[in-house]
Structure 1
Amino acid sequence: MSRRAVLKVVKTNYTPSAPWMVRVPPRLQRIERARKKFFAKESIAKAYVERLAKQLGDYHSQALGLSDRQKLEASECYRLLEKHDASLFDAVHHYLTYVEQTKRSIPVRELFDEFLSVKQQDNVSPKYLADLRSKLGRFVNSFHDTLVCNLSVAQIEAWIRSLSIGTVSRESYRRNVSVLLEFGRRRGYLPANPAADIKIRRRPEGEVSILAPEELRNLLSKCAPEIVPYVAICAFAGLRPSEAASLLWSDIHLDTMQIEVRARHSKTRRYRLVPIQPNLGKWLMPFRGKGGAIYYSRRKFREAYKAAGMEKWKMDILRHSYGTYRLPILKSADALALEMGNSPDVIFRHYRRPMNEACASAYFDLRPSIPPCPASNDAPSDARDESFQKKLIQRRQRNAPGTLNADRGQAA
């Protein structure tokens, strides 16, 4: 026969600051979330005992008032919960929590619209918005009317792995979905971010592709004269494709040998000055005095790298080449990170490889054998119109090599 719990106050030596203890009856332990309660004053402990006694009496009266149907239903619930080692109270509490969460939650499509609206208000770059619409658009199409609180880790991971894409792209999709769901979690639409727990195997660190000096010379020789400045800036200044596509000729200062990368065009949203190497100055000098945007054509660039024997253009290969050849010359990850607009950690992970200074210098000794002749007839006639330039820069950001639209165009 089991011992019956006796409600009383006991003085103990467990905790000197709260010596008065009350043992909670087993039937109330789940509700009180404790087996023992400790109090600093005896009077408070006695008041707690009185409350528990009243609560037990109320429960006894309520139990006697249950109908036969309610008793049968409770008995069946206990039978079903027995194999899960859960109480009826746990089951009801879990259900009520779920119901409250679903009332606050919204479908995936509504969360996506709300998320995009906030990003547009934050004035993020057109390239980033296009990437969100593309990747998250596929996610929304698959989970259109699903409440975000009902999304599970298994569902999202299965969806990501069902996509016919590479490892790096899978991680990119997971990251974007995680950003979306984290936005929903902060707004109370779901209790936790399931995408944050998904682990995608990443490409081994440091494996970036670069061009040999002769490969770059061959590429530049195949470029149409009007796109030479864009390619040379990416190769010898290390700008990201979207940053180079956003440049105006007024951002290139050949008198001080510096390139201005404005915060609104930078991936990190930070203003920086990039030095113009002496050989880059030679490539740009014939275009000195031009106005408007740096000219770029996706079609002409594709024709150039295919003519140079490259069937597929590797993302950011010109930027990676710059970082790899520049590090042995600078001998400082901090200085190179300042030029490239990233962190010393990224420099160490991607651009450290066996290379002497003489080999690195050969890359920056590439100069035009015949100065490229600017082809002004290929540039738009209204290139100096400010509103036109803004639209042109946005279009080039989307179509720059290594960006989403550029990859689509090459695949086509």
Structure 2
Amino acid sequence: MSKFKITPFLNPSGAKVWRLSGTLNGKRFRENYKTRNEAVAKRQSYEVKRLNETSEGQTVWTTLTHNQNRDAIAAVNLLKSHDMDCSLSFAVNYLLKNYRPPENEKSVSDASMEYLRKREQDLVRGFIQKRQLMAIRSEMNWIKLCLGDIPVSSLSPEDFREYLEKPKDAPRNRRKVPEVATAKTWNNRRGLVNTFCEYCVDQGYLQENPVAKVAQHKIKHQRGTAKTLSADQVQELMNFLETYTGPQYKREIYRNQPGFLVPFFALALFAGIRPDWKDGEMGKLKPKDVDLKTDVIRIEPGVSKTNEKRIIKIQPNLRLWLEHYPVGQYPILPKKNPDRILRALRNQFSLGHDVLRHTFISMTVGTFRSVGDASLQAGNSEAVIRKHYLDLKSPEEADQFWRIVPKGASLPKKMKKKEGRYILP
């Protein structure tokens, strides 16, 4: 491991530079360079100087030039610093037998952009999701900024450890950047650069994947019981939505029709559709997928998060909501500013990202007592249902939940349960 560190640094003038820091001859130093290549070259120079100065001089006759002799001394010291009890000739022999230069030479900048274009094609082909591509694009832009001019073939595990240690500080980042990346962030970013390096190996830019030698942190998963809403909270929310016209802003005159958000929340609460509107199930769901003739909602593979088709049963109360607020007249997503509108409402009612879906699953299990049926409708495994949703709701509260209907509507007092569905008399 090098005694000298290279880190990105922002000058008081606002210019981004690369800072080389360390201790040489008992004196600590910090030097700034415009490019990382300059900093790496200087670090190598200091490394040789440090190693040479740790050796005691001896007068010997040699055929080596002065520079070759210094290089040989540095090589021997490198072996000593890594506790390698072998001769320099053995090390050179091993290098000649095992080292193979890369078939093609490419800078990190060019390779990362080439890899990004390939993943963009994967999105078009349906191999990855839009959210995955966004994460890949963010990481490739950052690696281009940090390591752009370096040849891919010269990247080492230590380069990637330094790269991952430094949290991303993008110019448009709204949140305060932590001083140290969390274990989860480290693992996520390591996974992205690991896949990039595997691509470089396939293309002949690397002989082996250096990220394979970068440790992955072990994380204790502490997720327990899923957070849900009570039947009374759902009733309060749906009553509010029937008259809600959107957040009020001083400079905005536009108002939505009352109940414009009812289909979104009814489908999330009473059908368990994943509520991500940007590139998730709710954003991809079409009105034709909601079939009131057969009382089912079809989640096609292109809509489903798991890329598997599933069928959701429309319960009598959901049918009433969709009849009072048909998706043909009340779009599933707001036409204008959906992100701002939904965020305001989530903040007002303290709604977590998946709490609506969690409520659906727990109420389904509470009413019909079938883990298998809840698993099929929700698109989760039975193991997940048992671990996080079983016995969260009593049958009485679950029955109250499935009787929540629009104002002026009602359901018969007695409804039979059959095969995971309420049957009207």
Q: TM-score, normalised on structure 2? A: 0.59
Structure with higher helix content? 1
Q: Which amino acid aligns with 1:132?
A: I
- In the alignment, what sits opposite 1:259? 297
- 1:346-365 CA-to-partner distances (Å, cap 9, x unmatched) read 33444345443333333333
Q: Against the structure 1 CA distance between its residues 167 and 237, is the aligned structure 2 distance closer, same or farther, given a 3 Å change threshold?
A: farther
For residue 85 of structure 1, report the CA deviation from its aligned partner: 1.0
- In the alignment, what sits opposite 2:10? none
For residue 147 of structure 1, report the CA deviation from its aligned partner: 4.3
Q: 1:133 aligns with which of 130, 137, 144?
A: 137
- 1:178-198 CA-to-partner distances (Å, cap 9, x unmatched) read 443343344444412626731
User: After the TM superposition, which residues 246-325 of structure 1 pair with which residues of structure 2 at under 5 Å, given as runs?
Assistant: 246-288=284-326, 290=328, 294-296=332-334, 297-306=338-347, 308-310=348-350, 313-325=351-363
- In the alignment, what sits opposite 2:21? none
- In the alignment, what sits opposite 1:339? 377
Q: Against the structure 1 CA distance between its residues 192 and 90, is the aligned structure 2 distance closer, same or farther, given a 3 Å change threshold?
A: farther
Greater Cα radius of gyration, structure 1 or 2: 1
CA contact (8 A) 1:106 1:147 kept: yes
- In the alignment, what sits opposite 2:49? none
CA contact (8 A) 2:156 2:210 kept: no
- 1:251-287 CA-to-partner distances (Å, cap 9, x unmatched) read 1001111112222222222222222222221211124
Aligned length: 302
Q: Which amino acid aligns with 1:360?
A: A
Q: 1:192 aligns with which of 199, 204, 209?
A: 209
Q: Which amino acid aligns with 2:344?
A: E
- In the alignment, what sits opposite 1:86? 86
Q: TM-score, normalised on structure 1? A: 0.60
Whole-angstrom distance in 2 between the partners of 1:174 and 1:79:
33
Listed as ranges, the gaps of 5+ residues in structure 1 are 1-66, 372-412
CA contact (8 A) 1:248 1:291 kept: no
Give yes or no for the alignment of 1:364 onto 2:402.
yes
User: After the TM superposition, which residues 69-80 of structure 1 pair with which residues of structure 2 at under 5 Å, given as runs?
Assistant: 69=63, 80=77
CA contact (8 A) 1:325 1:360 kept: yes
For residue 327 of structure 1, report the CA deviation from its aligned partner: 2.9
Q: 1:237 aligns with which of 271, 289, 292?
A: 271
Q: Against the structure 1 CA distance between its residues 337 and 185, is the aligned structure 2 distance closer, same or farther, given a 3 Å change threshold?
A: farther
Whole-angstrom distance in 1 between the partners of 2:371 and 2:96:
55
Whole-angstrom distance in 2 between the partners of 1:105 and 1:330:
62
Whole-angstrom distance in 2 between the partners of 1:118 and 1:126:
14
For residue 167 of structure 1, report the CA deviation from its aligned partner: 6.2
SS of the residue 2:341 aligns to? helix
Q: Identity rate of aligned residues, in percent? A: 23
Q: Which amino acid aligns with 2:405?
A: R
CA contact (8 A) 1:246 1:293 kept: no
CA contact (8 A) 2:112 2:144 kept: yes
CA contact (8 A) 2:224 2:388 kept: yes
Q: Which amino acid aligns with 1:129?
A: L
- In the alignment, what sits opposite 1:111? 111
Q: Against the structure 1 CA distance between its residues 95 and 208, is the aligned structure 2 distance closer, same or farther, given a 3 Å change threshold?
A: farther
SS of the residue 2:224 aligns to? coil
CA contact (8 A) 1:115 1:183 kept: yes
For residue 338 of structure 1, report the CA deviation from its aligned partner: 2.2
Q: Which amino acid aligns with 1:277?
A: Q
Whole-angstrom distance in 1 between the partners of 2:231 and 2:97:
63
TM superposition outliers: structure 1 runs of 4+ over 6 Å: none
Give yes or no for the alignment of 1:218 onto 2:259.
no
For residue 170 of structure 1, report the CA deviation from its aligned partner: 5.3
CA contact (8 A) 1:272 1:339 kept: yes
CA contact (8 A) 2:310 2:377 kept: yes
Of the structure 1 ranges 159-168 and 134-143, higher mean CA displacement relative to structure 2 is found in: 159-168
- 1:319-364 CA-to-partner distances (Å, cap 9, x unmatched) read 2222233233444444333222233343344434544333333333
Whole-angstrom distance in 2 between the partners of 1:244 and 1:235:
12
